[in-house]
Chains A and B, each alone.
Chain A
Amino acid sequence: GAVVSQHPSWVICKSGTSVKIECRSLDFQATTMFWYRQFPKQSLMLMATSNEGSKATYEQGVEKDKFLINHASLTLSTLTVTSAHPEDSSFYICSARSWGADGYTFGSGTRLTVV
Chain B
Amino acid sequence: AQKVTQAQTEISVVEKEDVTLDCVYETRDTTYYLFWYKQPPSGELVFLIRRNSFDEQNEISGRYSWNFQKSTSSFNFTITASQVVDSAVYFCALSEASGNQFYFGTGTSLTVIP
- Chain A positions within 8 Å of B, measured between CB atoms, are 32, 34, 41-46, 49, 91, 93, 95, 97, 100-104, 106-109, 111
Q: What is the total number of residues of chain B having a CB less than 8 Å from a CB of chain A?
A: 19
Contact partner, B101, options A46, A102, A103, A109, Cβ 8 Å: A46
Q: For residue A104, which residue of chain B has the nearest CB? A: B102
Asked if B91 and A102 make an inter-chain contact with CB atoms under 8 angstroms apart, the answer reads no
A15 CA to B101 CA, complexed, in Å: 31
- The closest CB in chain A to the CB of B44 belongs to A108
Complex: A44 Cα to B106 Cα, angstroms: 8
B3–chain A nearest beta-carbon distance, Å = 11
Chain A at the B interface: mostly helix, strand, loop or mixed? strand
Identify which of B35, B100, B104 contacts A102 (C-beta below 8 A). B35
Verify if B95 is at the interface (C-beta below 8 Å from A). yes
